[in-house]
């Protein structure tokens, strides 16, 4: 028998079925070791020695593997075919060597791009050794990320209160978002006019033509810049006679896009399905690990972390068969299409993301997966099949028209496009970011010299627009173009920026928060080199060279650390005033926007003589007056003006970071957003100085709600909590939604139930609230703000018990009501399915765990004569004698101990002098 190690339980279960009884397949549950979050985990003084820590979960996995290896013929490492997979295998071998569990046992490494029987069998016939170059690239990347994060983040905490962290790639991605925000703020719109003539052919067909030239000169889009110029052109066009100058029809072809890489999959899923990169990768992981179809568990797509765009010959042949069968031979090119990656930092040569079986149509797969996975599979299938289809054949027509007014010639142009043969477009068309649609209008038949009649002339005013904010898809695309990071890490990077509250999503666009802009401003001012795009891309290139065994990984770290440590050391003498001056200059347009009346935006609106500037307080950054403490004006960084001046001020000495949102229409009291010790909150009115006065009503902000997204309406909604959502279907009593110490919850009488992560306390409806309360009532539990009611996964096939995944004090877990099993770090509560939950619960039961009460410990009982009955437990050693005063105090605190142990009471008779001891005390 041989032992096979993979990452996930789902993958282990599937592969175990393929390999049979001669193999035992175990899951490592992802990485079993990690760098502890403490100083010295990577030691530059010891040539970057790395200290790895085996956590409790990892230790348990290693123990299981050690146990399975006893009597085994060999160890096969079958983790994912990328750097992370190679690193997991390396960690397993290192941990087993420390346990001396291998002892010369053969160790083999196998990889497969898809979890299918054919792919697994082929891999087993072609084992190799662990690729040390890939492991070295992983070690270098892990060490770099640790050194940057662990050394740069404390500098931020000291010099820029409110900042949470910095990262090697995270900070560069944040810079992209913040730079785009600065471009938008500094953008000055430019006026321009367009002129369009609606013309009619001799046959009566109507079409439009645009002004493109006059008097032999070409007119560009922005050349007509004033209303006067537009009016002059319009006047001449209304007097002109028109004639077709030339007609040119050119054939054109549009070729299909290659199949998906990790990056393009994330981009298209964002555009077409509205899925965030992290959401896309979770769904893709499930499709990769597979589902049970026809009694067999099979992976539905190939490995989803790849830079490759090519496909295996058998997959191409499979796609061509599907095209011929489903769409006909006309849609099948004579020669199969071959694609090659253009990315300069392409990783290992894996296949593109594609279905494992092209004949498994989306409508068939939809019966076995959830809606999100079905949509993603459909996207992957259509893109893959379309990539092997015939090109679309188009005809692009350009008609040049001459307008004559006396001796003046004015040029107009009409363009159109006709699809002669749709080709791959019958199945799929790639989405676009921030691009205008092509002109697909069809023009009527015309010949050179044909006269045209004017129907109308329209001039329209336009203004240039600033560049759009990044969407998640366009940011991923830009990072890939610059060579920043790895496509497999983009989802985690974007999620980190949101979790740190450096950016927020608004209308599917990434908006830089003030906190994120301050961090970027600080890094650009004092660590500019380390957030430069070229530097980060060059470092990625060096890591690629490490993975190709071209350079030593420690040499890369030495070169990096030499300059980086000097930059860190240079900040020790950095004064807060230097930080503030740099940020005031860099973020001036954002912090001090220009006023409509043209006055100095930095003049204090309260005292009129002080200058506003950025300040740092224990709650973070704010804007204050230079005349403090005489003038106590403060506001948040970019408070929008409501009444012209003084908006956001806290002139009466309120804490920095107070922003006035408006007045409550009912009470007339001001509604403010404030920074507090435990985070931002909204408040109605002001606190009174009188001793017995009631405190003003306040409400904290729900998790995930950015302070910058809070307006008057949102604040009033929060201050109106608790709100009645529904009536209980049995009792008829109200069900309330509210915010509490442990987050948002719903309440019915004395029954409380926390809301899930996707529930909004301000928007939760009646049906959802009733479901949560009823589920809590049926599940029992303590009163007060309760644990997550959980997500039902299904029923146990043997016991019939409901299997639920819940959020607990120590993280998510699955339970059947009797046994609890904690989820591994590699598996989130959103990802786990019923088969994985059953495996975890079974493993927990086998280990003797769960929440079952241990049987009561047997103790010696006494007969009526006071003699002990035959001993059922070994005699306990007598406790050490306590000092008299301590013994008396202990006995006073626990008088029931005397009744439980009469013999001990007899031995402690002097303790009867307790009153005297108390008197002495």
The SS3 call for residue 670 is strand
Q: What is the pLDDT of residue 638?
A: 57
- Whether 208 has a pLDDT exceeding 50, the answer reads yes
Q: What is the pLDDT of residue 439?
A: 53
Q: What is the pLDDT of residue 57?
A: 84
- Whether 885 has a pLDDT exceeding 50, the answer reads no
Q: To the nearest whole number, what is the mean pLDDT of the chain?
A: 82
Q: What is the pLDDT of residue 643?
A: 35
Q: What residues are paired with 806 via a beta bridge?
A: 813
Q: What is the pLDDT of residue 202?
A: 92
pLDDT digits (tens, 9 = 90+) for 95-105: 999 999 998 89
Q: What is the pLDDT of residue 597?
A: 82
95-104 long-range Cβ contacts below 8 angstroms, 24+ apart: 95/32, 95/33, 95/54, 95/58, 95/62, 96/62, 96/65, 96/66, 96/69, 99/62, 99/66, 101/65, 101/66, 101/69, 102/69, 102/75
Q: What is the pLDDT of residue 647?
A: 43
pLDDT digits (tens, 9 = 90+) for 578-622: 888 888 888 888 888 888 788 888 899 888 889 898 887 766 778
CA atoms within 13 A on the CB side of 205: 10
CA 716 from centroid of its chain's CA atoms: 30
Residue 895 or 56, more confident: 56
Residue 489 or 881, more confident: 489
Model confidence at 562, pLDDT cuts 50, 70, 90, reads very high
Nearest alpha carbon to residue 490 among 267, 277, 259: 277
Q: What is the pLDDT of residue 618?
A: 66
Which token pair is 407?
A: 């001796």
- Whether 303 has a pLDDT exceeding 50, the answer reads yes
Residue 154 in contact with residue 172, Cβ under 8 Å?
no
Predicted model pTM: 0.69
pLDDT digits (tens, 9 = 90+) for 42-61: 999 999 999 999 888 889 99
d(CA 724, CA 746): 9
Q: What is the pLDDT of residue 343?
A: 55
Residue 175 in contact with residue 194, Cβ under 8 Å?
no
pLDDT digits (tens, 9 = 90+) for 3-16: 999 988 888 888 88
d(CA 793, CA 812): 14
Longest CA pairwise span in the chain (Å):
134
Residue 627 in contact with residue 607, Cβ under 8 Å?
yes
Q: What is the pLDDT of residue 336?
A: 93
Percent residues over pLDDT 90 in the chain: 37
303 given a catalytic annotation = yes
- Whether 626 has a pLDDT exceeding 80, the answer reads yes
Residue 254 or 349, more confident: 254
Q: What is the pLDDT of residue 779?
A: 65
Q: Please tell me whether the peptide bond between 629 and the residue prior to it is cis, using omega within 30 degrees of 0.
A: yes
d(CA 410, CA 768): 65
What average pLDDT does range 63-82 have in this prediction?
Answer: 91
Distances (CA, A) of 90 to 36, 40, 98, 134, 350: 18, 22, 12, 10, 20
Residue 642 in contact with residue 653, Cβ under 8 Å?
no
Kindly list the strands in the beta sheet with 734-740, ordered across the sheet, starting from the edge strand earlier in the chain. Answer: 723-727, 734-740, 743-748, 751-754
- DSSP assignment of 720-731 equals T-SEEEEE-TTT
Percent residues over pLDDT 70 in the chain: 84
- Whether 631 has a pLDDT exceeding 80, the answer reads yes
d(CA 204, CA 136): 73
What average pLDDT does range 148-157 have in this prediction?
Answer: 86
d(CA 260, CA 855): 57
Model confidence at 866, pLDDT cuts 50, 70, 90, reads very low
Model confidence at 892, pLDDT cuts 50, 70, 90, reads very low
CA 868 from centroid of its chain's CA atoms: 65
Q: What is the pLDDT of residue 849?
A: 57
- Whether 280 has a pLDDT exceeding 80, the answer reads yes
Which token pair is 773?
A: 């309360």
- Whether 257 has a pLDDT exceeding 90, the answer reads yes
pLDDT digits (tens, 9 = 90+) for 432-474: 655 444 455 788 999 999 999 999 999 999 999 999 999 988 9
Q: What is the pLDDT of residue 12?
A: 86
- Whether 119 has a pLDDT exceeding 80, the answer reads yes
Among 29-33, 477-481, 641-645, 731-735, the minimum mean pLDDT is found in: 641-645
Q: What is the pLDDT of residue 353?
A: 94
- Whether 396 has a pLDDT exceeding 60, the answer reads yes
Q: What is the pLDDT of residue 693?
A: 66
The residues near 263 (Cβ < 8 Å, ≥ 6 apart) are 307, 476, 477, 480, 487, 490
Q: What is the pLDDT of residue 913?
A: 41
Q: What is the pLDDT of residue 896?
A: 32
Q: Radius of gyration of the chain from Cα atoms?
A: 35
Q: What is the pLDDT of residue 212?
A: 95
Q: What is the pLDDT of residue 876?
A: 41
Which token pair is 193?
A: 């006019």
Model confidence at 784, pLDDT cuts 50, 70, 90, reads very low
pLDDT digits (tens, 9 = 90+) for 18-49: 888 889 999 888 889 999 888 889 999 999 99
- Sign of the alpha-carbon torsion through 6, 12, 15, 21: positive
d(CA 685, CA 668): 9
Residue 688 DSSP one-character state: -
Q: Please tell me whether the peptide bond between 689 and the residue prior to it is cis, using omega within 30 degrees of 0.
A: no
Q: What is the pLDDT of residue 88?
A: 93
d(CA 374, CA 353): 15
User: Which among 288, 303, 377, 633 is annotated as catalytic?
Assistant: 303
- Whether 109 has a pLDDT exceeding 90, the answer reads yes
């Amino acid at each position: 028998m041989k032992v096979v190690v993979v990452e996930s339980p789902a993958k282990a279960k599937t592969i175990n079925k393929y390999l049979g009884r001669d193999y035992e397949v175990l899951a490592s549950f992802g990485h079993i070791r990690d760098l502890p979050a403490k100083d010295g985990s990577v030691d530059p003084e010891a040539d970057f020695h790395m200290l790895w820590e085996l956590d409790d979960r990892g230790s348990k996995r290693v123990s299981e593997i050690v146990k399975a290896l006893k009597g085994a013929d060999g160890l096969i490492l079958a983790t994912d075919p990328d750097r992370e997979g190679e690193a997991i295998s390396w960690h397993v071998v290192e941990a087993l060597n420390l346990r001396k569990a291998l002892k010369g046992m053969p160790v083999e490494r196998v990889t497969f791009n898809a979890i299918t029987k054919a792919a697994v069998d082929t891999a087993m016939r072609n084992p190799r050794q662990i690729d040390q170059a890939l492991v070295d690239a992983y070690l270098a990347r892990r060490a770099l990320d640790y050194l940057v994060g662990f050394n740069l983040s404390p500098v931020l905490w000291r010099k820029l209160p409110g900042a949470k962290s910095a990262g090697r790639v995270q900070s560069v991605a944040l810079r992209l978002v913040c730079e785009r925000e600065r471009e938008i703020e500094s953008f000055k719109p430019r006026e321009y006019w367009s002129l369009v003539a609606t013309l009619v052919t001799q046959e009566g067909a109507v079409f439009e033509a645009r002004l493109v030239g006059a008097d032999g000169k070409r007119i560009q889009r922005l050349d007509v810049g004033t209303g006067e110029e537009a009016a002059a052109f319009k006047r001449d066009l209304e007097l002109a006679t028109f004639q077709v100058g030339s007609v040119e029809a050119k054939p054109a072809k549009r070729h299909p896009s290659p199949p998906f890489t990790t990056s393009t999959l994330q981009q298209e899923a964002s555009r077409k399905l509205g899925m965030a990169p992290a959401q896309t990768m979770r769904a893709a992981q499930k499709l990769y690990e597979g589902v049970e179809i026809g009694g067999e568990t099979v992976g539905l797509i190939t490995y989803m972390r790849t830079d490759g765009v090519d496909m295996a010959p058998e997959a191409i042949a499979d796609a061509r068969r599907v095209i011929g069968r489903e769409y006909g031979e006309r849609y099948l090119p004579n020669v199969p299409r071959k694609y090659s990656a253009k990315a300069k930092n392409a990783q290992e040569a894996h296949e593109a993301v594609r279905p494992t079986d092209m004949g498994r149509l989306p409508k068939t797969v939809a019966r076995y997966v959830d809606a999100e996975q079905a949509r993603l599979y459909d996207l992957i299938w259509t893109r893959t099949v379309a990539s092997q289809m015939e090109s679309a054949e188009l005809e692009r027509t350009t008609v040049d028209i001459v307008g004559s007014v006396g001796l003046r010639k004015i040029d107009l142009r009409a363009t159109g496009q006709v699809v002669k043969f749709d080709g791959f477009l019958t199945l799929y068309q790639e989405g676009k970011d921030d691009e205008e649609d092509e002109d697909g209008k069809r023009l009527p038949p015309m010949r050179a010299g044909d006269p045209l009649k004017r129907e109308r002339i329209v001039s329209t005013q336009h203004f240039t627009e600033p560049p759009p904010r990044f969407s998640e898809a366009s940011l991923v695309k830009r990072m890939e173009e610059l060579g920043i990071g790895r496509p497999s890490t983009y989802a985690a990077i974007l999620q980190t920026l949101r979790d740190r509250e450096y950016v927020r999503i608004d209308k599917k666009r990434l908006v830089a928060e003030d906190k994120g802009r301050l961090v970027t401003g600080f890094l650009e001012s004092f660590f500019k080199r380390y957030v430069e795009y070229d530097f980060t891309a060059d470092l990625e290139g060096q890591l690629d060279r490490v993975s190709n065994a071209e350079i030593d990984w420690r040499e890369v770290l030495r070169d990096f650390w030499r300059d980086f440590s000097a930059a860190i050391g240079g900040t020790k003498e950095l004064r807060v005033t230097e930080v503030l001056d740099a940020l005031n200059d860099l973020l001036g347009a954002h912090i001090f926007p220009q006023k409509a009346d043209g006055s100095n935006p930095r003049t204090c609106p309260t005292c009129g003589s002080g200058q506003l500037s950025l300040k740092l307080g224990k709650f973070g950054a704010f804007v204050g007056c230079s005349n403090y403490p005489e003038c106590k004006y403060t506001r948040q960084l970019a408070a929008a003006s409501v009444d012209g001046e003084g908006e956001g001020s806290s002139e009466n000495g309120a804490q920095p970071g107070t922003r006035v949102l408006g007045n409550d229409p009912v009470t007339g009291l001001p509604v403010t957003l404030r920074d507090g010790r435990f985070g931002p909150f909204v408040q109605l009115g002001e606190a009174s100085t009188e001793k017995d006065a009631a405190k003003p009503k306040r409400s904290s902000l729900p998790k995930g709600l950015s302070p910058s997204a809070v307006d008057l309406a949102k604040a009033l909604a929060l201050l109106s909590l608790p709100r009645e959502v529904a009536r209980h279907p049995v009792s008829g009593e109200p069900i309330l939604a509210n915010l509490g110490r442990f987050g948002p919850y719903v309440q019915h009488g004395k029954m409380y139930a926390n809301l899930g992560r996707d529930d909004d306390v301000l928007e939760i409806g009646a049906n959802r609230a009733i479901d949560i309360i009823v589920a809590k009532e049926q599940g029992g539990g303590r009163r007060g703000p309760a644990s997550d009611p959980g997500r039902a996964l299904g029923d146990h096939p043997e016991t019939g018990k409901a299997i639920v995944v819940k959020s607990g004090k120590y993280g998510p877990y699955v339970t059947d009501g009797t046994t609890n099993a904690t989820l591994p770090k590699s598996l989130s509560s959103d990802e786990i399915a019923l088969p994985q939950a059953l495996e975890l619960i079974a493993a927990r039961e086998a280990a003797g765990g769960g929440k079952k009460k241990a049987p009561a410990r047997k103790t010696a009982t006494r007969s009526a004569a006071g003699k002990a009955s035959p001993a059922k437990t070994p005699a306990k050693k007598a406790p050490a004698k306590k000092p008299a005063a301590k013994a008396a105090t202990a006995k006073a605190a626990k008088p029931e101990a005397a009744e439980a142990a009469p013999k001990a009471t007899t031995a402690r008779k002097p303790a009867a002098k307790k009153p005297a001891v108390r008197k002495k005390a």
